Structure 1
């Protein structure tokens, strides 16, 4: 399954206007195939971390070495660069079909910030379906780079990245819903604290009473979604109730979608009580209408028989 960070980038590119020619993916493939260790910085890195702010350029940080310069030249040539940039400069522009931007080394002016550590601290995202691996600046490093540059848009984007680092319960809810729509167990589990608990108070055959721990959430949802033909395509919000406890929200919603291989639709009302602490889910009570989904799948009789067997 595609890494969540790359999935965000793909979606951001799909949602751009048709007239927008920006598509850095071919050049990112060329960098990967050339063995480059260049690190994506700027707003593309911001999008990989979850920023909603669009961009039209691709900026890269590299170490200035002769080996990396050779890898960059190979990638630029493979991507169709007509005029190779001068890589002996601390910062130089580049252009390939679908993308342009700046190639920067730590020697470039960064408002007094030493960006050498940003190279060593880079994180990676991988798309197993294509073999693409992208190195991009870690969130804290990207925030420091934005603050150091100091332009109004840099501070605005740094503020957004700070919120991504410390998401509110509503921020977490938005990502939770997207993971459900994508049936992405990894993206869902990554929202949880390592020792989080996810409870299912309503009895339903095949469902545990609870998942204890992030990895149990990951394994449980991967198995459940992998075995289910239900494909959600919409989450209708009924209400979100804030609590006197700032960590807790109560969510009324309806998950709707189709049953794969049929024209049948399902609609599953549910209620979530979510506690978020330090940006991670620590507890969920998940009241889901599993019988409604079973009915749409034509499995209600079998489920009812199993329920009778547990009575």
Structure 2
């Protein structure tokens, strides 16, 4: 049976998901906390204490750093030199994979500047992390909540599922299953997505 740990992290609070299979007592204690009292957001070093560039993050810490970048829109330097990023649901004509740390960082820097990203003010990240038998693998299921700055309408959608392989504190492979329809709907850009799909179908 897989040994898994599920942790749900909301806005400034850690909430237990009660399915802990074969976890040690210490791990069970980590996931057993209820919602934290209201108060200021915690110091992010409590989540990712690896501020020294020579520090080696755990796979979970790497995944947490990636999740935080969704809100900051600045991708952290957590990739191996020969890392591969694979957007599994990329539309035809878009990159089906991105290879190399520099290319990946450039890819996400460009994505942060696209119109859809610009109108989505993300106010809350709700990730679930799952680890199994392979110590290099961490799976992240992410829900995002916020406000469309153009319309003022709130949004909440399942943003993506990411499967990360982390070795020596660096991502060597990331398969990203992004919710393109949910993101387009939140940004008010479904007509543009439909137009793009129709153009693809016409060819």
Structure 2: distance between partners of 1:266 and 1:293: 9
Give the conservation status (yes or no) of the 8 Å contact 2:125–2:145: yes
Match of 1:266 in 2: 155
Q: 1:257 to 1:302 in 2, by over 3 A?
A: same
CA deviation after TM superposition for structure 1 residue 51, in Å? 4.7
Partner of 1:286: 176
Q: What is the TM-score when the length of structure 2 is the normalising length?
A: 0.66
Q: Secondary structure at the match of 1:235?
A: strand
What is aligned with 1:171?
A: 61
1:210 alignment counterpart: 97
Q: Secondary structure at the match of 2:135?
A: coil
Change (3 A) 1:296 1:51: closer
Distance 1:165 1:279 in 2: 8
Greater helix content: 1
Give the Cα separation in 2 of the matches to 1:161 and 1:184: 15
Instruction: Tell me, in whole angstroms, the C-alpha distance in 2 between the residues paired with 1:201 and 1:258.
Output: 27
The one of 136, 139, 143 equivalent to 1:247 is 136
1:226 aligned to 106, 109, 113, which one?
A: 113
CA distance in 2, matches of 1:284, 1:161: 22
Post-superposition Cα deviations, 1:44-88, rounded to whole Å, max 9, x if no partner, equal xxx9xx8549xxxxxxxxxxxxxxxxxxxxxxxxxxxxxxxxxxx
Q: Is the 8 Å Cα contact of residues 257 and 265 (structure 1) preserved in structure 2?
A: yes
Change (3 A) 1:52 1:250: closer
Partner residue, 1:198: 85
Q: What's the C-alpha RMSD, in Å, of the aligned pairs? A: 2.8
Cα distance per residue 1:148-175 (max 9 Å; x no partner) = xxxxxxxxx9xx889x822111111111
Task: Find the aligned partners of 1:214 and 1:161 in 2 and give their Cα distance.
Answer: 19
**If the length of structure 1 is used for normalisation, what is the TM-score?**
0.45
Flag the structure with more relative contact order, 1 or 2, with Cα contacts below 8 A and sequence separation at least 6: 2
Instruction: Render the CA deviation track for 1:108-132: whole Å, top value 9, x for unaligned.
Output: xxxxxxxxxxxxxxxxxxxxxxxxx
Is the Cα contact below 8 Å between 1:235 and 1:254 reproduced in 2?
Answer: yes
Count of aligned pairs between the two proteins:
155
1:206–1:267 CA distance, 2 compared to 1 (3 A): farther
Could you list the per-position Cα deviations for residues 191-236 of structure 1 after superposition, in whole angstroms to 9, with x for gaps in the alignment? 1111111111113477522221111111111111112222322211
Displacement of 1:254: 0.9
Could you tell me whether the CA contact under 8 Å between 2:63 and 2:138 is conserved in 1? no
Contact 1:271 1:287 in 2 (8 A): yes
**SS of the residue 1:308 aligns to:** helix
Larger Rg: 1
- Alpha-carbon distance between aligned partners in 1 of 2:121 and 2:51, rounded to the nearest angstrom: 31
Alpha-carbon distance between aligned partners in 1 of 2:190 and 2:144, rounded to the nearest angstrom: 18
Q: Is the 8 A contact 1:258 1:264 kept in 2?
A: yes
